């Protein structure tokens, strides 16, 4: 019966598709994607606790009987809605607000950033089409939802041989109204061969009680041959925000990619990243910090696929669990038979600050090549009593010791982030998010 009810919910969402066209004539390939997404949404079941990879994910907040989701598309961006900490530290080059997009100036020889629709009008349709044609079919209903509602997106293109010195900041704002609101932001980043850039994407959300916002975001990143990308995404928002993130990354040979992620707040976050190392001699580094509190749920799913040899991948992921929060980390390194001489390290550390906080970690390796170096590990626990005692013997009370240990735990991972401004940003957020 419960599933039937959820299926009713799916039909409600499907009915919203008609309203997203808004007079724009989509090219055929885009129409195909929307249709394909809608078909997949209809066919794919809602994951449940028996579905592999979803055992610990409680989807009730999405499908509870009180929720009636509506997709709202804005006509205009209101910059004043962007949280000050994001605006000041990462002044946006492009802004998304519930489907409305504002992009500053850029259509220069060094880079192009604009909405999907304007990008097509300016002659970038072929590039976008090629990227989407390579995309896999949706794996579950959340990905299907992203495709069937893909009425727009932000497209960033760095042409061949271009080095962009200044970081490019993108802000994604999802606002709620007098109803439970769905937003489907989409970001497409393409660094062509021998290009280099730093890109940051910041997700903020605003809700109106008692309604929630469901942010169903999709990021696609392509790093060309010998291209180098430093990427940061940060997620923050009110406690009534539910988020689903899916990021897919394709790395060309000799490229380097540094993906850095901050999950700072929200009722529900499920973040999936799938990195495909498609060429030889690639370097991929993934760093992340999850700060979880209240009764919030945060889950990270990672899949790093070494498809070609001589690649190096590093994962340093950390979770801080407070109060009754639940934090889940599942990461898999896959080494294909052809990916000889791959070198991979995966490490998760969880710090639990309350007896009721749950942190579960499952690092995995799947290796089909015989000449590789792979290690993985996970540690989870409260602040060690012998460390607290050490502080005490130096005149520092246990409460203060705990707060210094938390700082240390956070600082250690932030040091791995190659983007300087992150530390200032986290320092501002931390007083709100961490109960020291």
- The footprint of another protein (CB under 8 A) covers 384, 386-387, 389-398, 400, 404-405, 407-412, 415
Residue among 359, 335, 363, 358 nearest 348 (CA): 363
Asked whether the CA dihedral 144, 148, 154, 155 is positive or negative, the reply is positive
Nearer to another protein, 304 or 410 (CB): 410
Q: For another protein, which is the closer residue by CB, 10 or 407? A: 407
Closer residue to another protein (CB): 8 or 436 = 436
CB of 415 to another protein, least distance (A): 8
Least distance to another protein, CB of residue 384, Å? 8
Least Å distance, CB 224 to another protein, is 36
388 three-state secondary structure: helix
Specify the 3-state DSSP secondary structure of 2: helix
Q: Which is nearer to another protein, 118 or 416 (CB)?
A: 416
Question: CB of residue 386 vs another protein: minimum separation in angstroms?
Answer: 6
Q: How many CA atoms lie within 13 A of 137 on its CB side?
A: 9
Shortest reach from residue 287's CB to another protein, in Å: 14
Give Dmax over CA atoms of the chain in angstroms: 71
Question: Please, which residue, 179 or 345, has the CB nearer to another protein?
Answer: 345
Q: From the CB of 353, what's the least distance to another protein, in Å? A: 15
What Cα–Cα distance (Å) separates residue 154 from each residue in 27, 68, 116, 396, 397? 17, 27, 6, 49, 49
In eight-state DSSP terms, residue 5 is H
Cβ of residue 402: shortest distance to another protein, in angstroms? 12
Q: Which is nearer to another protein, 63 or 391 (CB)?
A: 391
Structure tokens at 285: 């580094």
Cβ proximity to another protein: between 146 and 260 the closer is: 260
What gap in Å lies between CA 249 and CA 171, rounded to an integer? 20
SS3 81: helix
CB of 410 to another protein, least distance (A): 7
Assigned token pair, 50:
């028996």
Q: Which residues pair with 146 in a beta bridge?
A: none
CA distances from residue 94 to 195, 228, 246 in whole angstroms, order as listed: 20, 21, 20
376 vs 400 by CB, closer to another protein: 400
Residue from 272, 160, 138 nearest 222 by CA: 160
Q: Whose Cβ is closer to another protein: residue 367's or residue 396's?
A: 396
Q: Smallest distance, Å, CB 436 to another protein?
A: 13
The smaller minimum CB distance to another protein, of residues 67 and 407, is found at 407
Peptide bond into 84 cis (omega under 30): no
Strands (E), 66-129: 69-71, 94-97, 100-103, 112-115
At its nearest, how many Å lie between another protein and the CB of residue 322?
18
Cα–Cα dist 63/6, whole Å = 6
Q: Name the residue among 213, 218, 101, 106 with its Cα closest to residue 152.
A: 101
Tokens 């290009």, residue? 195
Shortest CB 349 distance to another protein, Å: 9
Helix (H, G, I), strand (E, B) or coil at 196: strand
Residues 6+ apart with CB under 8 A from 8: none
Q: How far apart are CA 49 and CA 59, in angstroms?
A: 9
35/415 with CB nearer another protein: 415
Spatial CA neighbour of 322 closest among 349, 350, 299, 292: 292
């Amino acid at each position: 019966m419960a599933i039937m009810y959820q299926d009713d919910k799916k039909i409600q969402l499907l009915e919203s598709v008609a309203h997203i066209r808004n007079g724009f004539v989509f090219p055929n390939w885009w129409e195909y994607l929307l249709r394909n997404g809608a078909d997949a949404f209809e066919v794919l079941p809602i994951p449940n606790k028996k579905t592999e990879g979803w055992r610990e994910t409680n989807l009730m907040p999405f499908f509870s009987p009180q929720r009636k989701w509506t997709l709202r598309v804005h006509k205009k961006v209101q910059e004043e809605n962007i949280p000050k900490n994001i605006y000041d530290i990462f002044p946006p080059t492009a802004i998304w607000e519930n489907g409305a997009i504002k992009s500053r100036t850029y259509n220069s020889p060094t880079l192009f950033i604009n909405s999907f629709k304007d990008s097509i009008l300016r002659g970038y349709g072929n590039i976008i089409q090629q990227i989407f044609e390579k995309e896999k079919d949706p794996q579950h209903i959340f990905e299907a939802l992203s495709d069937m509602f893909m009425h727009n997106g932000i497209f960033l293109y760095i042409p061949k041989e271009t080095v962009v010195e200044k970081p490019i900041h993108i802000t994604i704002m999802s606002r709620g109204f007098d109803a439970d609101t769905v937003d489907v932001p989409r970001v497409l980043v393409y660094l062509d061969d021998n290009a280099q850039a730093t890109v940051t994407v910041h997700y903020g959300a605003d809700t109106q009680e008692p309604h929630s916002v469901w942010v169903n975001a999709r990021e696609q990143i392509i790093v060309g041959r010998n291209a180098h990308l430093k990427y940061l995404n940060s997620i923050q928002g009110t406690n009534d925000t539910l988020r689903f993130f899916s990021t897919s990354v394709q790395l060309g040979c000799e490229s380097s990619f540094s993906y850095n992620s901050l999950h700072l707040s929200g009722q529900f976050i499920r973040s999936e990243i799938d990195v495909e190392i498609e060429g030889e001699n690639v370097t991929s580094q993934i760093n992340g910090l999850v700060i979880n509190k209240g009764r919030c749920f945060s889950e990270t799913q990672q899949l790093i696929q070494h498809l070609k040899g001589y690649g190096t991948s590093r994962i340093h992921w950390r979770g801080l669990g407070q109060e009754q929060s639940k934090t889940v980390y599942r990461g898999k390194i896959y080494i294909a038979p052809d990916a000889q001489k791959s070198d991979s390290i995966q490490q998760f550390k969880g710090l639990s600050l309350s007896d009721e906080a749950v942190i579960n970690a499952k690092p995995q390796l799947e290796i089909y090549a015989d000449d590789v170096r792979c290690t993985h590990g996970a540690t989870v626990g409260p602040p060690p009593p012998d460390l607290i005692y050490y502080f005490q013997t130096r005149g520092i009370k246990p409460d203060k010791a705990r707060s210094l240990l938390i700082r240390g735990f956070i600082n250690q991972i932030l040091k791995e982030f190659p983007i300087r401004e992150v530390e200032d940003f986290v320092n501002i957020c931390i007083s709100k998010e961490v109960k020291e």
